Amino acid sequence: MFWVEGGHPLQGTVHVDGSKNASLPILAATLAIAGEVTLEQIPQLQDVATMRQLLQSIGAAVELLDDGSIRINAHDVRSSVASYELVRQMRASVCVLGPLLARFGTARVSLPGGCNIGHRPIDLHLRGLAALGADIRLEAGYIVAEGSQLYGAELDLCGPHGPTVTGTCNIMIAAALAKGRTRIRSAAKEPEVQDFARFLNAAGAQISGAGTSIVEIDGVDHLRGVRHAVIPDRIEAATLAIAAAITHGDVTIKNAPTTHLTSVLNALDLIGIPFEVTPDTLHIRASSRLRPARLTADPYPGLPTDCQAQFMALLSTIPGESRITDTVFPERFRHAAELVRMGADIRIQGNSAVIHGVTQLSAAPVMASDLRASAALVLAALAAEGHSEIRRVYHLDRGYHAFEQKLNQLGARIQRVNDGPKI
Ligand code: UD1
């Protein structure tokens, strides 16, 4: 649980860690490589720890090095089973499906369960693997995929809410070790997908077009060991920028991947937040004259759905009517009810939230429902008058490293106290 004393403008310099969403599929992909892989800039997060545990449970040797990098050797992996116990803790565990199938011709991966941000099927992953020739069935809660030889194919990964990020990664790695050429249409264009392709290409894959909606992959016989540094976390950078804005602070964010943040910077601009950028620094300057805005979370290069909750917290503090629509996860609004407990005026209408900004949020005990919702509640608490109590911050620890320490170094007053049982 966090105790947060609101009302302190953030000031100073803060450093962004490596990207969670780039790290997870890359870590999973090491299962398809029979050599040593060294990964730099992997953030120390709960989700990364869960993925490490999953790799080890499958038989990979995982070593944390003194310089913070991770060395993985999956040479001796013999199993291709990802258990329910680990998969249920983190949906991104499904990223091991493509690598295991590609290398071993068979994979048995627990079907991920429900999720707090809405319905999250994996039909596109399965459809893509089936298009490459895999035989897919469900057996006692597990996806069983078989195909001793996969073949390149033309496939389209567009779902009802746009492309799939981890689905694109799963198909890319399976196709990287298939026979012949694969063309993925409606591929996700996220920077994390681009980093995944860079990693695989460095390991010997032949992938072109990552970052566009058409990705072409020429299959190779095997992938080799490699060293790779993951990109910085654009969502952490955006969260810190919004933290600076909501407290009317003045913060320099170092290691911010500003070329990946165009939509976030456009949203900050629309709201009237002054900032300066260099390729790896974002400086947010104080302003108390902010404007309401209409924002839409869309697939990349649109505004990330992973920033939607944080922007909702910010817009709750700006007088006037704002609206946020989420086309990627249309039901991802559980944080709204908690923000209302802090005095925000928010109504949900379908896949949109209509926000009437208030001049001052007030502290309250609130409960985090998922990773980005937790971040939004922390930001709201920084701006609120009084002491807020935020429960279930274990959600936050899944995706932010030392978040309260970073904010405290900027002048926030956040204290972590025992969260009690995870119920
Ligand atoms: C990834 C990110 C997550 C982010 C999300 C959207 C990782 C580890 N996680 O999740 O932080 O919020 O992208 O940017 O990178 N869908 C289907 N069928 C499928 C797969 C997805 O209908 O087979 C739908 C989803 O329900 C959702 C949309 O497509 O509405 C996008 O989901 P997707 O891109 O797959 O999200 P993840 O890759 O799970």
Instruction: Kindly list the domain boundaries of the chain, sorted by start residue.
Output: 2-17+232-416, 20-229
pLDDT tens column, 92-124:
999 999 999 999 999 999 988 656 656 788 999
Q: Measured in angstroms, how far is the CA atom of residue 92 from the centroid of ligand 1?
A: 9
Annotated active-site positions, please? 115
Same fold, 2-17+232-416 and 20-229: yes
Q: Rounded to an integer, what distance in angstroms lies between the CA atom of residue 80 and that of residue 60?
A: 11
User: How many whole angstroms from its chain centre is CA 261?
Assistant: 14
- Best residue for ligand 1 mutational test, from 24, 47, 120 (most atoms within 8 Å of Cβ): 120
pLDDT of residue 289: 87
Q: Which residues line ligand 1 (CB under 6 A)?
A: 21, 24, 91-92, 119-125, 159-162, 164-167, 188, 192, 305-306, 328-329
User: How many whole angstroms from its chain centre is CA 262?
Assistant: 17
Find tokens 């654009």 and name the residue: 234
Q: Measured in angstroms, how far is the CA atom of residue 319 from the centroid of ligand 1?
A: 33
| CATH of span 20-229 | 3.65.10.10
Q: Please tell me whether residue 149 adopts helix, strand or coil conformation.
A: coil
pLDDT tens column, 19-50:
999 999 999 999 999 899 999 999 999 999 99
Supply 284's token pair: 């947010």
Q: Rounded to an integer, what distance in angstroms lies between the CA atom of residue 91 and that of residue 214?
A: 25
Q: Please tell me whether residue 167 adopts helix, strand or coil conformation.
A: helix
Check whether 157 has a pLDDT greater than 80. Answer: yes
Q: Rounded to an integer, what distance in angstroms lies between the CA atom of residue 342 and that of residue 340?
A: 5
| CATH of span 2-17+232-416 | 3.65.10.10
Q: For 282-296, 313-327, 409-423, which range has the lowest pLDDT when averaged over its residues? A: 409-423
What is the mean pLDDT of the segment spanning 323-352? 97
